[in-house]
Amino acid sequence: MKKIGFILTFLALSTTIFLLGFTRKPSENPDTYYRVYLEEEVLGVVSSKAELEHYIDKKGESIKKKLNVSKVYSPNGLQIKKITTYNKKVDRVENIYNKISKRKPFTVRGYQFSIKKEKGTTSLYVLNKDIFKTAIEKVITSFIGTEKYEAYKNGTQPEITTTGSFIENVYISNDITVKEVNIPVTENIYQNDITLSQYLLFGSDIQKKIYTVQADDTVEKVAFNNEVSTEELLVSNPKLSSTNNLLYAGQQITISYLNPEVNVIVESHVVQDLESQYRTEEKYDANRIVGDDTVTQKGENGLERVTQNIRYENNVMTYIAPVSKEELKPTINEVVIRGKKILPNVGTSTNWAWPTASGYTITSNYAFRIHPITGKRQLHPALDIAGTGMGSPIYAANNGVVTMAKYYSTYGNCIIINHNNGYYTLYGHLSRINAKVGQVVAKGQVIGAMGMTGSATGPHLHYELWVGGPPHGGGTNINPWTVMSK
């Protein structure tokens, strides 16, 4: 019996010890590790955050060499969070690195510049803020020249004694913001101001070609034949300072198509001496036969000193405000005696009147340009004449019959005259219309006032010439200078 009791006691003790062994808590402390997430996806656990970051930087030697940076960072969206666990299983940093590299690009430290435009926002990446600043200054000097820009910045512009100009203000009209960011290495990162300034001037699709000057070429002719504005041609060829530069046969000219990413605004104060064209006074003699015309006084152009404030946007005049006008030499009108005093509705083909008051400036010729409102490259099929001020008179260029006098599409208040000699003229953006459809008007008669109705950046006359039929109705649009110079 004693033997049986000993055995039962031993078994009871053994069972107690066995059960206690399974209910005892572990005595060791939990460990600290780091769980790696990429945009909420768990990639694994590493023992050291610093070790993973060091490994990423070490593996990025080729990136550092290419971009000339000292450190490579983890991708945007990667998080490394500290955890405390009893689970001692961790991943090798090499394996975590491989998972990251297959999902998102690594990053370098730099700056993001955001340029707000009418049709969205453009983001640019640079490693140094000075790259962007210098590139912007290169764009500005491309439009106005280094010497003029330096004189403006240093306050050393020469004073105007008789005629001349000075820059009152230069600025970028776009809203531009900057912030320091981690830049994915797959982005286009500008490492120097030269490539960035080229992008800011010509956009991502830079179209360039070389043109060889012919014997009779001029700057304006080369520009027109290559469908660029004269301003674009001068920007693309810094050695050409103005449209008056003489070209020589065989000279190489760069043809580039501007597509600026920023709007460079230049506000200038300009004083210039301008010819004021004489007008022809027609007197009628009932005793003379129609067509029996005699010039009794020859006309002479006058001279006026005109002061204007002019605003340019990327080298294109967009607004002119007249300041003052001083007569230096009076205009002598031509006097013509015509036979029998009647008002013919047929205009002459050789003697056309200028359609605005004196003191004008041609802001856009009949030429290819980038439209200041739409931003599209197209032929400007007219003369834009400005500088005489809002509400100044607009004259009929020749005798004829008014066929339109109303608000018309982008022309705003518009008048069209049929001169019954094969030509039609169109007068756009008027602030006031002083003629009616069917009315016979005489050359030099006031038919309206200068304005900026319709699509216009400032007060001016949009003056078109058509031959063979009415505008947008069977006629052909031609350069107004072909008759105005006669």
- Are 301 and 387 contacting, i.e. CB atoms less than 8 angstroms apart? no
Q: What is the average pLDDT score of the chain?
A: 90
Statement: residue 16 has pLDDT above 50: no
Determine which helix (DSSP H) or strand (DSSP E) holds 62, and give its type and residue range: helix 61-67
What is the pLDDT averaged over residues 456-476? 96
Residues linked to residue 111 through DSSP beta bridges, in sequence order: 126, 180
Higher pLDDT, 351 or 190: 190
Query: Which pLDDT belongs to residue 181?
Result: 97
Determine which helix (DSSP H) or strand (DSSP E) holds 67, and give its type and residue range: helix 61-67
Q: Residue 412: left if φ>0, alpha if ψ -120 to 50, beta else—which one?
A: left
Query: Which pLDDT belongs to residue 19?
Result: 41
Question: CA 140 to CA 6: how far, in whole Å?
Answer: 106
CA distances from 8 to 1, 16, 18, 213, 387 (A): 11, 13, 15, 119, 121
- Which of 22-31, 208-217, 282-291 holds the top average pLDDT? 208-217
Query: Which pLDDT belongs to residue 485?
Result: 66
What is the pLDDT averaged over residues 184-197? 94
Question: CA 257 to CA 229: how far, in whole Å?
Answer: 9
Statement: residue 193 has pLDDT above 90: yes
pLDDT in tens, 319-361: 999 999 999 999 999 999 887 766 788 998 888 999 999 999 9
DSSP 3-54: HHHHHHHHHHHHHHHHHHHHHPPP-SPPEEEEEEEETTEEEEEES-HHHHHH
Any idea which of 204-213, 214-223, 364-373 has the lowest mean pLDDT? 204-213
- Which of 176-185, 206-215, 348-357 holds the top average pLDDT? 176-185
Q: Sorting pLDDT into bands at 50, 70 and 90, what band is 372?
A: confident
What is the pLDDT averaged over residues 210-238? 91
Query: Which pLDDT belongs to residue 83?
Result: 94
Any idea which of 79-83, 86-90, 205-209 has the lowest mean pLDDT? 205-209
Residues linked to residue 44 through DSSP beta bridges, in sequence order: 36
Q: Residue 83: left if φ>0, alpha if ψ -120 to 50, beta else—which one?
A: beta
Three-class SS of residue 56? helix
- Are 45 and 31 contacting, i.e. CB atoms less than 8 angstroms apart? no
Statement: residue 12 has pLDDT above 60: no
Query: Which pLDDT belongs to residue 206?
Result: 77
- Are 290 and 348 contacting, i.e. CB atoms less than 8 angstroms apart? no
Query: Which pLDDT belongs to residue 7?
Result: 44
> Structural domain boundaries of the chain?
31-104, 112-256, 264-484
pLDDT in tens, 251-301: 999 998 888 999 999 999 999 999 999 999 988 888 876 667 899 999 999
- Are 345 and 357 contacting, i.e. CB atoms less than 8 angstroms apart? no
**In the CATH scheme, what architecture does the domain 264-484 have?**
Distorted Sandwich (2.70)
Any idea which of 13-17, 46-50, 87-91, 183-187 has the lowest mean pLDDT? 13-17
Statement: residue 467 has pLDDT above 70: yes
Question: CA 159 to CA 164: how far, in whole Å?
Answer: 8
DSSP 130-152: HHHHHHHHHHHHHHH-HHHHHHH
pLDDT in tens, 304-329: 999 999 999 998 999 999 999 999 99
Percent of the chain at pLDDT > 90 equals 76
Q: List b or e across 438-463, with b for residues whose CB sees 16 or more CB atoms inside 10 angstroms.
A: ebbbbbbbebbbbbbbbbbbbbbbbb
Question: CA 196 to CA 131: how far, in whole Å?
Answer: 8
pLDDT in tens, 128-178: 999 999 999 999 999 998 899 999 999 999 999 999 999 999 999 999 999
Q: What DSSP state is assigned to residue 72? A: -
Separation of CA 68 from chain center: 32
CA 291, 295, 296, 299 dihedral sign is positive
DSSP 346-394: S--SS----SB-SS-EEEE-SEEEE-TTT--EEEE-SEEEESS-TT-EE
Query: Which pLDDT belongs to residue 3?
Result: 47
- Are 346 and 399 contacting, i.e. CB atoms less than 8 angstroms apart? yes
Statement: residue 13 has pLDDT above 90: no
Contacts 24+ apart (CB under 8 A), 153-158: none
Residues in Cβ contact with 331 at an 8 Å cutoff, skipping those fewer than 6 apart: 276, 277, 278, 279, 299, 300, 301, 302, 358
Query: Which pLDDT belongs to residue 311?
Result: 97
pLDDT in tens, 393-418: 999 999 999 999 999 999 999 999 99
Query: Which pLDDT belongs to residue 8?
Result: 43
Query: Which pLDDT belongs to residue 118?
Result: 85
Q: Answer yes or no: pTM beyond 0.85.
A: no
Q: What angle do CA 346, 352, 356 make, to 5 degrees?
A: 120
- Are 160 and 166 contacting, i.e. CB atoms less than 8 angstroms apart? yes
Query: Which pLDDT belongs to residue 483?
Result: 92
What is the pLDDT averaged over residues 422-437? 97
Residues linked to residue 443 through DSSP beta bridges, in sequence order: none
Q: Sorting pLDDT into bands at 50, 70 and 90, what band is 235?
A: confident
